[in-house]
A and B are shown apart, each in its own frame.
Chain A
């Protein structure tokens, strides 16, 4: 399955990506960054809008550009690219707001079978990690690539 997604740019270590969201509000640059955490091999995934004038990043912006599925598919594509380069990496993600975490949850739920072909996915709830299940509301997510 190949979902529509935006073209990606990245610096050479594939830890920072950028793409252009296109919709009724115009072209909005989005930046994605995989940051090292204090736990070796675990990377925090974050993304937000880039202000074209100042270059500042806002991860609370709600752009309402009518392309949230395509944006999510593009973010997922960066996880594919990142874990292809760093196959033992674990990716941690949570939304900037509860609403955004729910959006991530819906995205994972929708494509869970497809995702689980290549990744092990966990959801964190009440300070415990659980294998990801549909219809459970999680506070954060962790995924890593299966060894084939």
Chain B
């Protein structure tokens, strides 16, 4: 893949940084996850007929 093709690509280039592993199981943003769970419990998911 040349530079031109790389620049056109929508996918970002992501550098792996193992120091971020500690956040994977840490309870950060837990209040938002709780709110999302509550909302998903009451509202559910959309109907998936839309394209």
Task: Report Cα–Cα, A142/B43, bound state, in Å.
Answer: 12
B21-A11 in contact (CB<8A): yes
Task: Report Cα–Cα, A96/B33, bound state, in Å.
Answer: 11
B51-A120 in contact (CB<8A): yes
Task: Report Cα–Cα, A128/B39, bound state, in Å.
Answer: 10
Interface residues of A in 34-58 (CB under 8 A from B): 35, 37-39, 42, 44, 46, 48, 57
B50-A16 in contact (CB<8A): no
Task: Report Cα–Cα, A9/B41, bound state, in Å.
Answer: 32
A46-B32 in contact (CB<8A): yes
Tally inter-chain residue pairs, CB-CB below 8 A: 120
Min Cβ gap A20→B in Å is 12
Interface residues of B in 1-46 (CB under 8 A from A): 7-8, 10-18, 20-21, 23-24, 28-29, 32-33, 35-37, 39-46
* Given A2-B7, A120-B50, CB of A9 within 8 Å of CB of B14: yes
Q: Which residue of A lies closest to B10 (CB)?
A: A80
Q: Is A89 an interface residue (CB 8 A)?
A: no
A59-B18 in contact (CB<8A): no
A112-125 near B? 1/0 per residue, CB < 8 Å: 00000010101010
A39-B17 in contact (CB<8A): no
Task: Report Cα–Cα, A15/B14, bound state, in Å.
Answer: 12
A94-B13 in contact (CB<8A): no
Q: Which residues in B have their C-beta under 8 angstroms from that of A9?
A: 14-17, 20
Instruction: Enumerate the 7 nearest inter-chain pairs by beta-carbon distance, A residue then B residue, closest first.
Output: A129-B46, A46-B29, A77-B12, A9-B17, A11-B20, A44-B36, A122-B46
